[in-house]
Amino acid sequence: MAGNLIFIIMNQNFKAMKKILTIMLAAIFLIAAVPTLQAIDKKSEKKARKEMKRKAYKAARKEARKFSRAGWYVAPGALPMDKQIEKSWELQYQEDEEGYPLYLVATGNSVGESQSAAKLQALELAKLELAGVVQTNIIAIIENSVANNQLSRDDAASVTKTVAASKNIIVQEIGRVVTFFEIYREVGKRNIESSVRIGYNSQLAYDTAKKAIKEQLEDRTEELHKKLDKILDF
């Protein structure tokens, strides 16, 4: 009887030790695997960046040739056109952690009597286009919220009307944009046309729009504001 008891105790201790040893070995394996996994991630990231640059370079060369044939040129002292456009495409290919574009992109064209006047107006038009992109996306989200019963039709109509009226406010609230490229060409005898492509961080753009919309809806119920916070949580 005593012998059986000792055997049972020893067997249980052996099982416990085996379990502990298994856990320790698994932990050692995971620790040892971390550098390998990190190396794989870095290799994948490096490969992705290389592919992105390849695509950007190819797209830039094609676009630069098209612009050059149409008489466009860059300002004195600026980067060559193909380099500006290549950088533009690199930034446009960038994505956030969730796989969405990191930048919202817009273009603007304007004609003026001087290069600076044409550029200034082109930038303003690009910002208006940028605000329009934000508006369109937000209105789509609001319309979808009605289908999902998150907002009533009356509330959705009120918010949509406010969004549509907030374009100029959004433009004014947009901070410093990234100029991807700027090019010019002669128009007639005295005028210059400017074309700019700008980018703005997507999250900042939507945060700016949310702020503008909520300020316009300041007199509405707190419940509506809470719903909007949930619906517009980009």
Q: State pLDDT tens for residues 83-118.
A: 998 888 888 888 888 888 899 999 999 999 999 999
Residue 213 contacts by C-beta under 8 Å, 6 or more apart in sequence?
138, 159, 162, 163, 166, 228, 232
Say yes or no: 100 and 205 in one domain.
yes
pTM reported for the whole predicted model = 0.72
How far is the C-alpha of 202 from the C-alpha of 179, rounded, in Å?
15
Say yes or no: 114 and 207 in one domain.
yes
State which residues of the chain have pLDDT below 50. Answer: 2-3, 5-10, 37
Q: Which helix (H) or strand (E) holds 191?
A: strand 191-201
Would you state the pLDDT for residue 8? 47
Would you state the pLDDT for residue 38? 54
- At 99, which amino acid appears? G
Say yes or no: 1 and 44 in one domain.
yes
Q: Token pair for residue 159?
A: 């918010």
Say yes or no: 109 and 204 in one domain.
yes
- Number of structural domains (the chain) is 2
Say yes or no: 127 and 217 in one domain.
yes
**What single-letter DSSP state applies at residue 219?**
T
10 DSSP β-pair partners: none
> Which has the closest alpha carbon to 89: 66, 125, 119, 58?
58
Say yes or no: 63 and 148 in one domain.
no
Would you state the pLDDT for residue 130? 92
Would you state the pLDDT for residue 125? 95
- Residue 101 included in any domain: yes
Would you state the pLDDT for residue 55? 80
How far is the C-alpha of 227 from the C-alpha of 210, rounded, in Å?
12
Q: What pLDDT, in 10s, does the model give residues 31-55?
A: 665 565 455 555 666 666 677 677 8
How far is the C-alpha of 182 from the C-alpha of 122, rounded, in Å?
9
Say yes or no: 119 and 182 in one domain.
yes
Residue 114 contacts by C-beta under 8 Å, 6 or more apart in sequence?
192
Would you state the pLDDT for residue 26? 59
Would you state the pLDDT for residue 100? 81
Would you state the pLDDT for residue 11? 53
Range of the domain at 23: 1-72
Would you state the pLDDT for residue 7? 45
Say yes or no: 107 and 64 in one domain.
no
Say yes or no: 60 and 153 in one domain.
no
Say yes or no: 66 and 133 in one domain.
no
